[in-house]
Structure 1
Amino acid sequence: MNQTRKRSSKKQRALEILVRLKRLYPDATCSLDYSTPVQLLVATILSAQCTDERVNKVTPHLFTRFPDAVSMASADLEEIIELVRSTGFYRNKAKNIQGACRMIVKDFGGQVPNRMEDLLKLPGVARKTANVVLAHAFGINAGVTVDTHVKRLSNRLGFTKHDDPVRIERDLMPLLPQADWENWSIRLIYHGRAVCKARSPVCQECQLADLCPSKIAE
Structure 2
Amino acid sequence: MADETAPMEVEQSLFEAPPMGEQERMVEAILFASAEPVSVAELAARMPHGADPAEALVHLRRRYEGRGVQVVKVGDAWAIRTAPDLGFLMQKETVETRKLSRAAIETLAIVAYHQPVTRAEIEEIRGVSVSRGTVDQLLELEWIRFGRRRMTPGHPVTFVVTQGFLDHFGLESARDLPGLKELRAAGLLDNRPPPGAGLGEEDDESEAEDEGQSELFED
TM over 0.5: no
Larger helix fraction of residues: 1
TM-score (norm 1): 0.23
Larger radius of gyration: 2
